[in-house]
Amino acid sequence: MVQNESMEEVKEKKEDEEDEEIGWGDVQEEMKASTKPVEKKEDEEIGWGDVQEEMKASTKPVEKKEVGSVRFEEIKKGETKKASLDIDFILDLPLTVTVELGKTKMMISELLQLGQGSVVELTKFAGEPMEVFVNNRLIARGEVVVVNEKFGVRLTNVVSHAERLDRLK
């Protein structure tokens, strides 16, 4: 008899859940949106009541804050300050420099057939300038050279500032 009563209670809870049409995805979204810290409970201790409590707490209106305006001074040519010219702090930032030898497209089946000694044909022709990228942005073109038994690139054409800006659009 005790088991039947608890089964009926479980059925009633499930019916209540279906009436409210709240899914687990809704619960997760509400929990993420909540800024109130949640007490850590074991999985067995968390019940539907805890979830509803959390959802009610997270739907409280957010406090509105006023945003003030900011005014920046206009920089005039010839007007310099020591602080504005001090850019030493960015000189140690690491950048990724890539020299592109060429590109190609191939099917997965072709890729799987590659082995030692295979030749991959690229789109660039021999003697054509290589492209030099810094952080995936084209900055120059050049020719391959060998320096101290290592490959290098002699820059033959540096992309202009205007051309770099056009590529960003």
Per-residue model confidence (pLDDT) at position 82: 57
pLDDT tens profile 135-146: 888 899 999 888
pLDDT band at 52 (very low <50, low <70, confident <90, very high): confident
CATH number corresponding to 94-108+126-169: 2.30.330.10
pLDDT band at 3 (very low <50, low <70, confident <90, very high): very low
Q: Give DSSP secondary structure letters for 79-100.
A: ---HHHH--GGGTT----EEEE
Highest mean pLDDT among 32-46, 70-84, 143-157: 143-157
Q: How far is CA 147 from CA 105, 121, 144, 150, 154, in A?
A: 31, 26, 10, 5, 10
